[in-house]
Amino acid sequence: MDFPTSIKTCFSKYVDFKGVASRSEYWYFALFNALASILISTLSQSLGSLFSIGVLLPSIAVGVRRMHDRNLSGWWILLPVFNLVQSCMTTVPTSRWSSGTFSASGQGRTCPNGHPVPDHSDNYCPSCGAPLSQ
Ligand SMILES: [Zn+2]
């Protein structure tokens, strides 16, 4: 699929979340969005915002159709959002992959029961709730 056909297809399937999209369809539309967004934002900030809102739904739709082409559920396009939310969490549950300590010095505090306590925890151990001595 060539560039103009890709743009036409994505706008004609504005909210079509069914079916599939080829790689070229997806990436030409992404390229179009990036270039048009830069161009329009240079002319006018508010027009740029309007353009971004306008292409939001077709961008999601072509992303979902692209996932279908890979035999994945369309929900997979939310993976980056999930990762962003995870990375914004201040408290990470202690697991066998994490020590639960996040101090820059690498020397985290521990509660009276020996649980590692992140530096930003206040007065109680996040694992067992034991009060911490300061
Ligand atoms: Zn504890």
pLDDT in tens, 58-91: 999 999 999 999 999 999 999 999 988 888 876 6
pLDDT at 106 over 50: no
Bridge partner residues of 131 (DSSP) = 124
Q: Token digits for 48?
A: 């740029």
The residues placing their C-beta within 5 Å of ligand 1, an ion, are 111, 113, 115, 125, 127-128, 130
pLDDT score at 99 = 53
94 pLDDT more than 90? no
How many structural domains are present in the chain? Answer: 2
**How many angstroms separate the alpha carbon of residue 84 from the centre of ligand 1?**
28
Q: Which residue has the higher pLDDT, 9 or 130?
A: 9
For 77-125, list the strands marked E by DSSP.
109-110, 116-117
Look at residue 104 in the predicted model and tell me its pLDDT: 46
**95: pLDDT strictly greater than 70:** no
Residues 38 and 81 in one domain: yes
pLDDT of residue 96: 55
Q: For residues 10 and 57, what is the distance between their CA atoms, to the nearest angstrom?
A: 10
Identify whether residues 29 and 79 lie together within a single domain. Answer: yes
Between vectors from CA 49 to CA 74 and to CA 68, what angle results, nearest 5°?
Answer: 10
Q: Are residues 40 and 101 in the same domain?
A: no
Q: What is the pLDDT of residue 125?
A: 85
> Domain span at residue 97?
91-134
Mean pLDDT of 127-134: 82
Q: List pLDDT tens digits, range 8-62.
A: 999 999 999 999 999 999 999 999 999 999 999 999 999 999 999 999 999 999 9
C-alpha 97 – ligand 1 centre gap (Å)? 18
Confidence of residue 105 (pLDDT cuts 50, 70, 90): very low
The verdict on pTM exceeding 0.75 is: no
Distance (angstroms) between ligand 1 centre and the Cα of 122 equals 13
| 75 and 9 in a common domain | yes
The number of angstroms, rounded, from the C-alpha of 47 to the middle of its chain's C-alpha atoms is 25
**Quick one: 67 and 10 in the same domain?**
yes
Whole-angstrom distance, CA of residue 20 vs CA of residue 71:
9
